[in-house]
Amino acid sequence: MTDSKKTGLSRRGFIKASAAGAGAAVGSGIIGAPMIWAQTIKDVTLNQVGPSYSVIADICEKASVDLGFKIVPQTADSTALMAKVVNQPETIDIADLEFWAMQKVWRSGQLQPVEVAKIAKWGDITPVMKDGKNFDGSPQSMQGTTPVKVMYTGGPGDTAFSASPTDFATTMPTIYNADTVGIRPDLIGRPVESWGELFNPEFKGKTALVNIPQIGIMDAAMAMEALGELTYGDKGNMTKEEIDTTINRLIELKKAGQFRAFWSTFDESVNLMAGGEVVIQSMWSPAVTAVKSRGTPCVYQGLKEGYRGWGLGMGLMSHLEGIKLEAAYEYLNWYLSGWQGAFIARQGYYSSVPTTAKEQLTANEWGYWYEGKAATEDILDPYGAVMDKAGAVRDGGSFESRMGNVACWNTVMDEERYMVQRWNEFVSA
Amino acid sequence: MSRSSGRSSPLTPYLQVAPLALIMLAMVGIPLITVLLLSFWQSDGISIYPEFTWANYQQVLTSPVTLTLFLNTLKYAGLTLIATLLIGFTCSYFLVFHVRNLKWQIGLFLLCTIPFWTSNVIRMVSWIPFLGREGVFNQALISAGVIDQPLDILLYSDFAVVLTYIHLFTLFMIVPIFNSMAKINPNLIEAARDAGASGWQILWTVIVPLSRTGIALGAIFVVTLVMGDFFVVRVMSGGQSASVVSAMKNQIDQLFYPEAAAMAVLLIVVVLLMVSAILRIVDIRSELAK
């Protein structure tokens, strides 16, 4: 409420100022205009809403200082954010949406496309985010929501995605990563190389899956495929039969006591691992770091079948217009200018424009996070705590070997309703 | 009751009840109606269309998951009810009939409420490091030589869920039972004893019947709290069990609101039936008026 009022005020202020500017311009040419612009943009406040790993207060603060207008961070997990985008669009200005979430919310028409021409660094965005190609030029896995599938749209008002690149992007890609399983090397004591190990009876009662249906079932599918039990047409869009086979197998495993837990939150996954409850499980990368920081050995184990990829983009809400929209574009451009890329690199995520992030990282950091080289000195997180010792190498190696080896992408399936129903059956079995 | 009521207009009682009625209508009535409406609408996983359909109910009522979920939740409710009733009754009995000193009574009663000085979540989560595989309890048992392998059943199991419920909800049983028992006239017990009743007979034929209002109220609290929970189940079962509401939460997270609404309506019906069954056994209203 107050927010829309503020917009109104600033817009009115802008009109007044431009009228004055027009008067001034008669005398002094157009020199006055940028000054007036700078005065009014200061009144802008942008609400950025997204998951905690993307919307970070430190980044918003730094941007507010650099840009001169205020960016207010607000965290909401992806499911809550989707509901907010659809039902309360006016409470958000910029939404940090997972690509799979775009499959659900874009057609609601609550977002406006990002004009590619207004993003200065668009051309520098990595091909894995916008071109559907790996670093060596080979096509990416199209299982699940590959970013390119939801990257482009026909233009303003179009609620469908465009298969080929256009001048209008649905969101501007920001951060992404390749997910795999976390393991306790000290408790396993032998190399782990395949997703199939999740179902290995050796780890009976010591494995866990994430209790987010569409991600948990995909981790299970990676394991099933690795074991040769089922080859999926598309793990990111299973048929009813494939869902049935997968869930039935999961129920069988559950009844045999294979799983210790199904976790829902970050801290649950950390505690399961750190407390020795599980030795192998689905995990997010910062959770592995959190376990390590407690002095417990934990590896984010790259597996031969490949990674499960995910990524986010910043979406502009439809109600943005005028000076507020201009401010939003300025913020988007700032986002790709390097500071944010370096910040999230230190948390283990990749920036959509690695070249600018590189400028803001030390050679040691760049080598560790992006090139898979051994750290020459201690690696610090964004807040200065030691994450890894000198000599350590990032799990899974370089940016290209990790992001270039994504087997499937986080997604929503056509048969989602059925899948969620069966997942509930699995959890209650 | 008083003379003033005789003089007031016939509208007075309605005006008196109006504030609460309005609040109830706005805060309970409207949301309930919304849920009811929603349960008959269609959705495609993101948008909701106000078009009438039975599909949500059809899905909920024909799916075998629904029965499993309700049975599972009822099992939790039943186990918790029995345990909290036994503990609640025993505690109250002790406080009322064994602790004669009023100061001690109040002091001990306050002691029962100490766990409530901190939040539900903390009380629940604090069980995890205690019960875990490398937790305090397992470590103690192992070092005492009772077991040589940690007990897995302690955490992320039905046991952990019910244990947490009991810990969280016993006070809701103690308070109303304590209240009913405190109202029992000690002369009645003496009279029973004079008439030759044994301790058990007094308990069973005098105290229990006279405490039934408290028992019924406590049961309503405990049953509705357990039936409506999803958080304890999720955390303490390690996501390995589901309750009706946790399944609903999964649906809500995926934006399948109408299905979740249909499930919610079904849950309301079941809980209402349970509460009315309790009220059938004990007429709380007339008992309270005594």
pLDDT in tens, A220-247: 999 999 999 999 999 999 999 999 999 9
pLDDT given for residue A3 in this prediction: 41
Do the chains contact at B253 and A79, CB–CB below 8 Å?
yes
Query: Are A109 and A139 in the same domain?
Result: yes
Do the chains contact at A427 and B246, CB–CB below 8 Å?
yes
Query: Are A19 and A64 in the same domain?
Result: no
Query: Are A121 and A134 in the same domain?
Result: yes
Minimal Cα distance from B129: which residue of A? A275
pLDDT given for residue A55 in this prediction: 94
pLDDT given for residue A31 in this prediction: 46
Chain B residues lying within 8 Å of A412, measured CB to CB: 45
Query: Are A131 and A164 in the same domain?
Result: yes
Query: Are A151 and A62 in the same domain?
Result: yes
ipTM of the predicted assembly exceeds 0.85? no
CB A264 within 8 A of CB A282: no
pLDDT in tens, B140-152: 999 998 888 888 8
- How far A270 CA sits from the closest chain B CA (Å)? 13
- Based on its alpha-carbon atoms, the radius of gyration of chain B, rounded to whole angstroms, reads 24
Give DSSP secondary structure letters for A9-30.
HHHHHHHHHHHHHHHHHHHHTT
Query: Are A158 and A19 in the same domain?
Result: no
Chain B residues lying within 8 Å of A428, measured CB to CB: 65, 68-69, 72, 241-242, 247
Task: Give the separation between CA A49 and CA A198, rounded to whole angstroms.
Answer: 34
pLDDT given for residue A39 in this prediction: 62
Q: Which residue, among A404, A352, A357, A349, has the nearest Cα to A122 in the 3D structure?
A: A352
Do the chains contact at B45 and A205, CB–CB below 8 Å?
no
Query: Are A246 and A104 in the same domain?
Result: no
Do the chains contact at A83 and B255, CB–CB below 8 Å?
yes
Two tokens, residue A189: 């004591």
Q: Sign of torsion, CA A131 A137 A138 A140?
A: negative
Query: Are A164 and A51 in the same domain?
Result: yes
Task: List, as ranges, residues 105-144 from A with C-beta within 8 Å of B.
Answer: 105, 107-108
Do the chains contact at A424 and B69, CB–CB below 8 Å?
yes
Give DSSP secondary structure letters for B174-241.
HHHHHHHHHTS-HHHHHHHHHTT--HHHHIIIIIHHHHHHHHHHHHHHHHHHHHT--HHHHHHTTTSS
Q: Within a domain: residue A125? A: yes
Do the chains contact at A275 and B133, CB–CB below 8 Å?
yes
Do the chains contact at A105 and B46, CB–CB below 8 Å?
yes
A213, A275, A277 ranked by CB distance to B250: nearest: A213
Task: Give the separation between CA A193 and CA A195, rounded to whole angstroms.
Answer: 7
pLDDT given for residue B111 in this prediction: 87
- How far A4 CA sits from the closest chain B CA (Å)? 25
Do the chains contact at A427 and B235, CB–CB below 8 Å?
no
Minimal Cα distance from B128: which residue of A? A271
- Who contacts A172 (Cβ-Cβ below 8 Å, separation ≥6)? A114, A119, A122, A313, A314, A332, A335, A336, A352
Query: Are A20 and A81 in the same domain?
Result: no
Per-residue pLDDT of chain B in tens (290 residues, 90 and over written 9): 444 555 678 889 899 999 999 999 999 999 999 999 999 998 876 677 888 989 899 988 988 889 989 999 999 999 999 999 999 999 999 999 888 888 998 899 888 888 788 888 888 888 988 998 888 899 899 999 888 888 888 888 999 999 999 999 999 999 999 999 998 988 999 999 999 999 899 999 999 999 999 999 999 999 999 999 988 998 899 888 888 998 898 888 878 889 999 999 999 999 999 999 999 888 777 766 66
Longest CA–CA separation in chain A, Å: 84
CATH of residue A87's domain is 3.40.190.10
CB A208 within 8 A of CB A260: yes
Instruction: Report the CATH number of the B62-289 domain.
Output: 1.10.3720.10
Do the chains contact at B72 and A264, CB–CB below 8 Å?
no
Q: Within a domain: residue A141? A: yes
Query: Are A51 and A157 in the same domain?
Result: yes
Domain extent for A412: 180-306+405-428
A108, A212, A425 ranked by CB distance to B46: nearest: A108
- How far B180 CA sits from the closest chain A CA (Å)? 39
Query: A277 touching B, CB under 8 A?
Result: yes
Write down the pTM of the prediction: 0.79
Query: Are A325 and A248 in the same domain?
Result: no
Exposure class string for A57-84: b at 16+ Cβ within 10 A, else e: eebbebbbeebebbbebebbbbbebbbb
pLDDT in tens, B205-262: 999 999 999 999 999 999 999 999 988 998 899 888 888 998 898 888 878 889 999 9
Do the chains contact at B239 and A104, CB–CB below 8 Å?
no
Q: Which residue, among B155, B145, B170, B151, has the nearest Cα to B221 in the 3D structure?
A: B170
Domain end (from A9, A27, A43):
A43
Query: A3 touching B, CB under 8 A?
Result: no
pLDDT given for residue A6 in this prediction: 41
Query: A150 touching B, CB under 8 A?
Result: no
Two tokens, residue A36: 């007036």
Do the chains contact at A271 and B128, CB–CB below 8 Å?
yes
- How far A254 CA sits from the closest chain B CA (Å)? 9
Do the chains contact at A421 and B65, CB–CB below 8 Å?
yes
pLDDT given for residue A87 in this prediction: 86
Query: A424 touching B, CB under 8 A?
Result: yes
Q: Within a domain: residue A207? A: yes
Task: Give the separation between CA A228 and CA B180, rounded to whole angstroms.
Answer: 65
- How far A318 CA sits from the closest chain B CA (Å)? 17
Q: Within a domain: residue A373? A: no
pLDDT given for residue A38 in this prediction: 61
Query: Are A323 and A278 in the same domain?
Result: no
Query: A417 touching B, CB under 8 A?
Result: yes
B46, B135, B242 ranked by CB distance to A424: nearest: B242
Task: List, as ranges, residues 227-256 from A with C-beta within 8 Å of B.
Answer: 254
pLDDT given for residue A18 in this prediction: 44
pLDDT given for residue A283 in this prediction: 92
Looking at the 3D structure of chain A, how many domains does it have? 3
List, for chain A, all residue ranges whose pLDDT scores fall below the cut of 70: 1-39
Query: A269 touching B, CB under 8 A?
Result: no
A263, A271, A276 ranked by CB distance to B239: nearest: A263
Chain B positions touching chain A (beta carbons under 8 Å): 45-47, 59, 63-65, 68-69, 72, 128-129, 132-135, 152, 155-156, 234-235, 238-242, 246-247, 250-256, 259
- How far B61 CA sits from the closest chain A CA (Å)? 13
Task: Give the separation between CA B118 and CA B123, rounded to whole angstroms.
Answer: 7
